[in-house]
Amino acid sequence: MHQASMSIPEYTAPATLDDALGIKKERGAEARVIAGGTDLILRMRDKVFSPSVLIDLRRLSLDGIALSDNELRLGAFVSLSQVLESADIERLFPALPAGCREFAGPPIRNRGTLGGNIVNASPAADLVPPLIAYDASIVLSSSDGERVLQLMAFFVGPGQSVMEPDEILTEIRLPLMPASSAATFIKLGQRRSMAISQVNLTTRLSVDESSMVSEARIVLGSVAPVPMRAVAAEEFLLGKELSEKLLNRAAKKARDEVTPISDVRASLSYRLEMVEVLVRRALLATWDELRGSAPDG
């Protein structure tokens, strides 16, 4: 049971992205980016990672939030507290700050970053469902250039992603949502703060002029090895008119798509049950909001 003391690696805070990428190129997985450190330090303590060098990107201005005509760009080092302070995000992507509000407590929210929450690749990461529901894409940079991919395609398994050892996550991009779109975040934990999600999710619905569902996102965490979309349930909703009955049926479908496990936080059967309950609640709340925000009230 004994926990060995953590070895303290070398630390560097390069002045340019090229310098940082250069170190990554040279040392690969031996070099780890440290953002807020709120996941990394624990992994190092538990010897899951033993990097020989920590790269701090704080000098690279990766903590910007920039709104353009068609998208919002968030630097990988944007902290959760910054998300909560941004009026643009609150207005355009409210499910993301909703996730931040139920995330840990103020000290962790001050340190923890969006990039860290993504790269850590925990199936329970709270900000990944809202980001995926908003069709986020991410930018991975290496000294060979950069690639942009859908966040959904990033995750491979618990703690595993498609990121190469020489890559750094630099940016998260959210396309602006259609006017008649709304989203809801729900987190279920064993206590009201500082909880690891038993189930977390974000639903997003858009409707067309004739009130038919034109877009549906049902993104779930903690119920599969990676954050997942309940694709069959989403497809089932497309082109249909919203009704309570319809949303109930979609929730049942979502339940059939997830593959949770039992662990110390919840049993498999509880998680299954909760997926149905919470997807239904989230969809109903999303529908409520769509009705509330519609021009005709």
Partner 1 sequence: MTESAIVGQWTAAPGAEEIVTGKARYCPDIQLPGLLCGKLLYSPHARARIRKLDVRKARNMPGVFAVITHADIPGENSYLYAEPDQPLLVVDEVRFQGDAVAAVAAVDERTADAALAAIEVEYQELPGIFDPLEAMQPGADQVVQGEDNVMMSQMYRAGDVEAAIASADVVIENTYRTQWAEQAFLEMEGGVGLVDDEGGITVYSSCQAPHRDRMQIARALAMPESMVRVITPYIGGAFGAKDEAHVQIHAGLLAHAAQRPVHLIRERRESMLTHVKRHPMIIDYTTAATKEGKLLAVKARVIADAGPYTNSTHEVLNKCGEFIGGPYKVENVEVEKIGVRTNNPITGAFRGFGAPQAAFVYESQMDDLARKLGMDPLAIRLLNGVETGTKMYTGVVIREGTAMKASLNKAAEMIEWEKRDQVERRPARHLRRGFGMATILKGSGLGRGLADHAGVVLEMHRDGSVVLQSGAADMGQGIVTVMAQLAAERLGIGMSSVRVVRADTAKSPDAGASCASRQAMVSGNAVLEAADTIRDTLLTMAAGKTKIARDRLDLKAGRLTVDGEPHELTVKDLALRAGIWGYPLHAESLVHFEYPTDVPDVTYRFSQEVFQFCTQIAQVLVDCETGQVTVERLIAVHDAGKMINPGGVYGQIEGGIAQGIGYALTEELIVKEGHTQNPSLENYVIPMAFDIPELEMEVLEIPEPLGAPLGAKGIAESPIIPTAPAIRNAIYDAIDKPLYELPMTAERVLPVPDAGSIRH
Ligand X SMILES: Cc1cc2nc3c(=O)[nH]c(=O)nc-3n(C[C@H](O)[C@H](O)[C@H](O)COP(=O)(O)OP(=O)(O)OC[C@H]3O[C@@H](n4cnc5c(N)ncnc54)[C@H](O)[C@@H]3O)c2cc1C
What is the identity of the amino acid at 168? I
Query: Per CB under 8 A, which of residues 45..104 are in contact with partner 1?
Result: none
Residue 179, Ramachandran bin (φ over 0: left; ψ between -120 and 50: alpha; else beta): alpha
Nearer to partner 1, 2 or 91 (CB): 2
> For residues 83 and 113, is the Cβ–Cβ distance under 8 A?
no
Lookup: tokens for 256: 């059939």
Stretch that binds partner 1, among 85-93, 111-119, 217-225, 265-273 (CB under 8 A): 265-273
* Out of 86, 113, 206, 222, the residue judged to bind ligand X by CB under 6 A: 113
* Out of 13, 53, 108, 285, the residue judged to bind ligand X by CB under 6 A: 108
CA distance 97 to 80: 8
Lookup: tokens for 163: 């990121």
Longest CA span, the chain: 64
Query: Per CB under 6 A, which of residues 184..243 are in contact with ligand X?
Result: 194
Q: How many CA atoms lie within 13 A of 241 on its CB side?
A: 3
Picking from 133, 122, 199, the residue whose alpha carbon sits closest to that of residue 155 is: 122
Q: Binding to partner 1 by residue 243, rule CB under 8 A? A: no
Q: Binding to partner 1 by residue 16, rule CB under 8 A? A: no
Nearer to partner 1, 77 or 103 (CB): 103
Query: Per CB under 6 A, which of residues 5..64 are in contact with ligand X?
Result: 32-40
Point out which residues bind partner 1 (CB under 8 A). Answer: 1-5, 7, 105, 188, 190-196, 244-245, 248, 264-267, 270, 273-274, 277-278, 280
